[in-house]
């Protein structure tokens, strides 16, 4: 009877109470109710039902059928979650975690090395650390991440250029010309990922070189150069 004793608290007048409103001090909905738990609740409900208003067999059958449907939906959701996790292996994802004490959110980005499963939950391993699949907020396309790397490298090269007034034809002419051509041949995805300040800075270097040569200023428009 020890098991049923823990169930009596949610049985009142032979009715199963709404678990969400059982305690005003807790905002967390109890989870983990399986078929055995449901049967214990059902037995307790039958035992402590109001003799003046007994529950009909039809109601019991209806309750069990409802529970079975919920269980099937839950199993289906778990199966879909596990399948989705497997498809993320090798992809770059963003995991967002929120500190329950401070409410501050942090993002972790990385490539999913492998997936582990525990208690019908899927966990993505990124750089040796497991993350709950429910915390994944973004899955990045491989072309997108490749473009990000290209842009990052290109912007680092712009950072290596000297101050504008130190630019010379002999030392920097070929480099700046190559960077101009490289930018002009970038695909639109990569261009859209470029920091606008870097685009402006590159154009200033190009035009500084144009001034040194006495040439007309080049632009980034493909209609006119």
Model confidence over 63-80: pLDDT tens digits?
Answer: 666 666 666 666 565 556
Residues 62, 64, 65, 69: what is their CA dihedral angle, to the nearest 10 degrees?
A: 140
The label of the residue with tokens 């967390």 reads: 28
d(CA 83, CA 60): 35
- Sheet with 92-98, strands from edge to edge, namely 105-111, 92-98, 136-140
Q: What does the pLDDT look like over 87-135, one tens digit per residue?
A: 788 889 899 988 888 889 999 889 999 888 877 788 889 999 999 888 8
Q: What is the DSSP letter of 142?
A: H
Q: Which of 7-16, 83-92, 95-104, 209-218 has the highest mean pLDDT?
A: 209-218
Q: What does the pLDDT look like over 21-77, one tens digit per residue?
A: 444 333 333 445 555 666 676 677 666 665 665 555 566 566 666 666 666 666 565
């Amino acid at each position: 009877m020890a098991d049923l004793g823990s169930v009596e608290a949610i049985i009142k007048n032979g009715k199963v109470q709404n678990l969400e409103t059982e305690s005003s001090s807790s905002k967390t909905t109890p989870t983990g109710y399986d078929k055995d738990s449901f049967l214990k609740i059902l037995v307790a409900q039958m035992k402590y039902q109001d003799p003046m208003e007994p529950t009909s067999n039809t109601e019991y059958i209806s309750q069990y059928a409802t529970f079975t449907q919920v269980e099937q939906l839950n199993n289906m959701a778990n199966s879909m979650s596990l399948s989705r996790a497997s498809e993320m292996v090798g992809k770059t994802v963003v995991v967002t975690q929120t500190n329950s004490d401070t409410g501050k959110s942090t993002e972790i980005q990385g490539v999913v090395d492998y997936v582990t499963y525990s208690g019908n939950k899927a966990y993505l391993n990124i750089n040796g650390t497991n993350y709950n699949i429910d915390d994944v907020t973004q899955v990045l396309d491989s072309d997108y991440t490749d473009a990000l790397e290209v842009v990052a490298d290109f912007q680092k090269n712009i950072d290596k250029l000297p101050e504008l007034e130190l630019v010379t034809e002999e030392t920097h002419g070929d480099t700046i010309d190559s960077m101009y051509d490289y930018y002009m041949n970038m695909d639109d995805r990569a261009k859209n990922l470029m920091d606008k300040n870097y685009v402006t800075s590159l154009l200033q270097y190009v035009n500084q070189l144009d001034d040194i040569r006495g040439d007309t200023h080049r632009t980034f428009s493909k209609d006119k150069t």
